[in-house]
Chains A and B, each alone.
Chain A
Amino acid sequence: MTRHIRHAAFFCALLLAALLVNAARVQVVEAPAYGDNIANRRTTIARYGQPRGDILVDGAPVTGSKDTGEHLRYERTYTNGPMYAPVTGYASQVYGTTLLEHTEDGVLAGTDPLLSPFPLWGAAARGRYPGGDVVTTLRAAAQEAAYEGLAGRKGAVAAVEPSTGRILALVSAPSYDPSVLSGNGSSVARSWSTLNRDPDKPMLNRAVRKTYPPGSTFKVVTAAAALDAGVVEDLDVRTRTPDPYTLPGTRTKLTNASDGCKDVPLRKAFEWSCNTVFAKLGVEVGVERMAATAGAFGFNDPDLKIPYSVARSTFDTRVDRAQLALSAIGQYNTRATPLQMAMVAAAVANGGQVRSPYLVERTVRAGGGTVAAAGSRPMRQAMRPSTAAQLRELMVDVVREGTGTNAWIPGATVGGKTGTAQHGLGNSGTPYAWFVSWAQGDHDVEPKVAVAVVVEDADADRGEISGGGDAAPIARAVMEAVLKSSPEPRR
């Protein structure tokens, strides 16, 4: 009997061993897989168990966290949500994150190992730290000016600092309040479907995620290519341009909005925005050099990130000469985001150098230490400095006596270019009003701001949409706001 008791005891020991081995399997071997299972809510609970870090504009947070006391405890709140939505995006407990809330999620949610006081240990421990803050490059005054300038009309504004690439304003209208998507209740689902069904697409970030035909504002690029290529050597020498201009290889006649474009020199053509002259210049420069210049400005770059990705602005390189002529005046397949056109203006203002634009100045720990700083951004030479100087002259003329007088600011040098872009099938859509510009205060050593404004369907009653009429005042307000608040506080 004793032997059998021992056998039975041994059997129990086997059971115990099986339990221990299995516990080790579940808790150690399989643990990471179970932890990552989508149905496991622990990650989610931990994520919302602490206040999310904030996004800062001019040192003040434009976001916040609300303690709901629910299972998923902290919910995102936004101050001036619609105004900053194209920058912050939303942070929803149901629908995830977008834009800065998405790209900076590691810092905001506290999972970035760099938040640890001892980064190597942090990387190994994969812990969660108090959420860090994201300091943006935005200037609150400029953002407000742009948002109020659009006043709910469909359109977008992008402003950058030419010498650094800092994005000073990024506005898209109509916008939405991201805080309606923060939580996890049924109202969030309703808001989500309402926003997605809205024909005005309030969640579309028009400043960086939508491309428009740039129209006449693209003539800045064409002019730069023509000057760099030596097709035009003197701004005041008459070009041999017929009016109307017959597109090469076709019988289509290209006309101008204003009279007197026949054979005008580049200076006048730019000031009056003569389509005929720039179409012919584009053809003379040739597709390769046009594409090279456009590429140097940032067109055809699918990888631009600010840090969230920016839609690719395009300049079609597989075109015949007629299509090239149209491309050179910002039609056909030429498309640009408002941010891209702000970069074009910035390149002119910055001696031909294009700085890659960025939104995040620094990320900081909850305690205040810097996690990462933006540092110097990559730079490209879009045109020769002498060409940039000539273009500055041309753009200043536009504001002084051409189509862009609405952008004039006392006490500052302002250069700009208007644009009215046809679009839609057979150009049936309401044209887009464009204005790109830059400004330098009389006491500044360099241009402080470059802006691009697009208004999709300005006042339909006025019959005619023009960049000078609808977009230029907004650009002026933004530039004034930047010039006034300079020198900007360096944080």
Chain B
Amino acid sequence: MLALVAHLAVRLRAPAADPLLLPIGVLLNGLGLVLIYRLDLETPGDAAAPTQLVWSTLGVALFIVVVLLLRDHRVLQRYAYVCVVAALALLTLPILFPSVNGARIWIRVAGFSIQPGEFAKVLLAVFFAAYLAANRSALAYTGRRVLGVERLQLPTGRVLGPIVAIWLISVGVLVLERDLGTSLLFFGLFVVLLYVATGRTGWIAVGLLLAAVGAVAVGLLEPHVHGRVEDWRHPFASIEAGEGPNQLSQSLFAFAAGGTFGTGLGLGHSILIGFAAKSDFILATAGEELGLAGLSAVFLLYGLLVERGYRTGLALRDPFGRLLAVGLASIVALQVFVIAGGVTGLIPLTGMAMPFLAQGGSSVVTNWAIVALLIRLSDRARSRLGVPRAEEAATPETGRHEHAGAAR
């Protein structure tokens, strides 16, 4: 029903939009509700699915509002600085609230806990896209001269300013809120956009260097983060120490129990993970009960969503739109990677919501906003250019960049 209304809204206001985006969102959101409801059955005192349904409804409502009211994405470019101020405000807000399970990322309002950092993601993506679209050539030019001619020399302070600022924000978020995932996401988002905007690998190198220094320092000094890294390196250490399995090992057990085809919905025991089984570890339930087959399908759905986002970015012509599409798609991609990699033991575990699947109102609303913006962007891209002409339109810019590359 919700999906139908959303679909009508898209047909009405964005008839040329990418036809895959909305169905993927609906499918993932629906799967998330099913999995949460399934886990509710094992925790009779704590029903999360109804709340999640309310939030999903809000998310779809926001989706419809965005699709209906936002006629042209370039309007957002004008509000770039409003966005960044709002984003920073949202990010700092939870510092005033007590920490929950070692992370200080929630605020409680009227019984609902909200993660403002989730909303900040979209706002920051808008800001980055607008800022980089505006200063792209300057950054590229300065960067090329300084790094190209004398690689040991740092970029000028004026150009370095933004990256240092965002690095400081990331580390600030990390330290003050103990939220490794969000800081990784912001930083990754910025680096991707910077690279796309300027094409300077030098920026990437500088960024990664700073990130590495920050991560190592925090990983060694901050006990909470340090513990996560240790858990990742030795997931079964707590078992060997006789303290029983920790969450990560329980999560790995759940995935392993699923095998190739899964135990079947409702027949697994992922509830053994305990705390956060419905949110951060929701993927373990999918892995155990739907198996590797189901898990791969979920991953591929995300992959498809991201791919449609990137394709939209390729098809658009204005730099802001391109960067925004790429940024939004990258948010999804990075978030999926960080949390899915975390619960499957690929990278250190960081608390983060699986887009659409996990319990968490702020997250689901934010993801619907992302899909709404992508719909808007793809409608613009495809209605103006027509789908097959996307490559054609992109050619001149590609040529220019290859030129630049050759000159370098």
**Which residues of A come within 8 Å of B, CB atoms?**
1-9, 11-13, 15-16, 18-20, 22-24, 26-28, 30-35, 37-42, 45
B135 in contact (CB, < 8 A): no
User: Which residue of chain B is the closest to A38 with respect to CB atoms?
Assistant: B239
A159 to chain B, nearest CB (A): 46
Interface segment, one of B65-73, B76-84, B96-104, B330-338: B330-338
Kindly list chain A residues whose C-beta atoms are within 8 Å of the C-beta of B239. 37-39
B138 to chain A, nearest CB (A): 15
Kindly list chain A residues whose C-beta atoms are within 8 Å of the C-beta of B272. 41-42
Kindly list chain A residues whose C-beta atoms are within 8 Å of the C-beta of B300. 16
Kindly list chain A residues whose C-beta atoms are within 8 Å of the C-beta of B256. 26-27, 30-35, 40
Kindly list chain A residues whose C-beta atoms are within 8 Å of the C-beta of B258. 27
Known: A19-B346, A23-B295, A45-B269. A2 touches B398 (CB 8 A): yes
Q: A2-B401, A3-B398, A18-B346 are in contact. List 4 more A-B contacts (CB 8 A).
A: A4-B401, A6-B314, A31-B256, A40-B256
B336 and A8 contact, CB distance less than 8 A:
no
A3 and B245 contact, CB distance less than 8 A:
no
B192 and A8 contact, CB distance less than 8 A:
yes
Q: How many residues of B contact A (CB 8 A)?
A: 55
5 contacts between A and B (CB under 8 A): A1-B401, A2-B397, A4-B197, A18-B337, A30-B252
A1 and B259 contact, CB distance less than 8 A:
no
Ranked 9 nearest A-B pairs via Cβ: A34-B256, A31-B256, A39-B245, A9-B310, A12-B333, A2-B394, A2-B398, A39-B239, A27-B292
Known: A8-B326, A27-B259. A15 touches B337 (CB 8 A): yes
Docked pose: A19 CA to B354 CA in angstroms: 13
B252 and A26 contact, CB distance less than 8 A:
yes
B52 to chain A, nearest CB (A): 24
B344 in contact (CB, < 8 A): yes
B304 to chain A, nearest CB (A): 10
Known: A27-B260, A35-B257, A41-B269. A8 touches B292 (CB 8 A): no
User: Which residue of chain B is the closest to A32 with respect to CB atoms?
Assistant: B256
B344 and A42 contact, CB distance less than 8 A:
no
A371 to chain B, nearest CB (A): 26
A7 and B195 contact, CB distance less than 8 A:
yes
Docked pose: A3 CA to B395 CA in angstroms: 10
B303 in contact (CB, < 8 A): yes
B277 in contact (CB, < 8 A): no
User: Which residue of chain A is the closest to B257 with respect to CB atoms?
Assistant: A42
B247 to chain A, nearest CB (A): 12
Interface of B is mostly: helix
Choose among A3, A5, A16, A45 the residue that contacts B326 (Cβ–Cβ < 8 A).
A5
Known: A27-B295, A45-B269. A4 touches B195 (CB 8 A): yes
Kindly list chain A residues whose C-beta atoms are within 8 Å of the C-beta of B303. 12-13, 16
Known: A15-B333, A45-B269. A26 touches B341 (CB 8 A): no
Kindly list chain B residues whose C-beta atoms are within 8 Å of the C-beta of A22. 341, 344-346
Max count, chain B CB within 10 A of own CB: residue among A16, A20, A23, A38:
A23
B291 and A27 contact, CB distance less than 8 A:
yes
Kindly list chain A residues whose C-beta atoms are within 8 Å of the C-beta of B257. 31, 34-35, 40, 42
A257 to chain B, nearest CB (A): 58
B120 in contact (CB, < 8 A): no
Docked pose: A18 CA to B342 CA in angstroms: 12
Choose among A15, A23, A40 the residue that contacts B344 (Cβ–Cβ < 8 A).
A23
Kindly list chain B residues whose C-beta atoms are within 8 Å of the C-beta of A32. 256
Known: A24-B292, A42-B257. A5 touches B196 (CB 8 A): yes
Mark interface residues in B221-240 (1 if CB within 8 Å of A CB, else 0).
00000000000000010010
B310 and A1 contact, CB distance less than 8 A:
no
Kindly list chain B residues whose C-beta atoms are within 8 Å of the C-beta of A9. 306-307, 310
Known: A8-B192, A15-B333. A23 touches B299 (CB 8 A): yes
Docked pose: A332 CA to B398 CA in angstroms: 100
Kindly list chain A residues whose C-beta atoms are within 8 Å of the C-beta of B199. 1, 3-4
B10 in contact (CB, < 8 A): no
Kindly list chain A residues whose C-beta atoms are within 8 Å of the C-beta of B252. 26, 30, 34
Mark interface residues in B162-205 (1 if CB within 8 Å of A CB, else 0).
00000000000000000000000000000010011101000000
Kindly list chain B residues whose C-beta atoms are within 8 Å of the C-beta of A45. 269
User: Which residue of chain A is the closest to B310 with respect to CB atoms?
Assistant: A9
Kindly list chain B residues whose C-beta atoms are within 8 Å of the C-beta of A33. 256
Docked pose: A11 CA to B192 CA in angstroms: 9
B322 to chain A, nearest CB (A): 6
Choose among B260, B269, B302, B395 the residue that contacts A28 (Cβ–Cβ < 8 A).
B260
A249 to chain B, nearest CB (A): 58
Kindly list chain A residues whose C-beta atoms are within 8 Å of the C-beta of B299. 16, 19-20, 23
A26 and B260 contact, CB distance less than 8 A:
no
Max count, chain B CB within 10 A of own CB: residue among A22, A32, A45:
A22
User: Which residue of chain A is the closest to B245 with respect to CB atoms?
Assistant: A39
Known: A2-B398, A40-B245. A27 touches B255 (CB 8 A): yes
Known: A4-B199, A15-B337, A40-B253. A26 touches B345 (CB 8 A): yes
Mark interface residues in B364-408 (1 if CB within 8 Å of A CB, else 0).
000000000000000000000000000000110110011001000
B244 in contact (CB, < 8 A): yes
B249 in contact (CB, < 8 A): yes
A19 to chain B, nearest CB (A): 5
B287 in contact (CB, < 8 A): yes
A23 and B296 contact, CB distance less than 8 A:
yes
Choose among A12, A24, A28 the residue that contacts B306 (Cβ–Cβ < 8 A).
A12
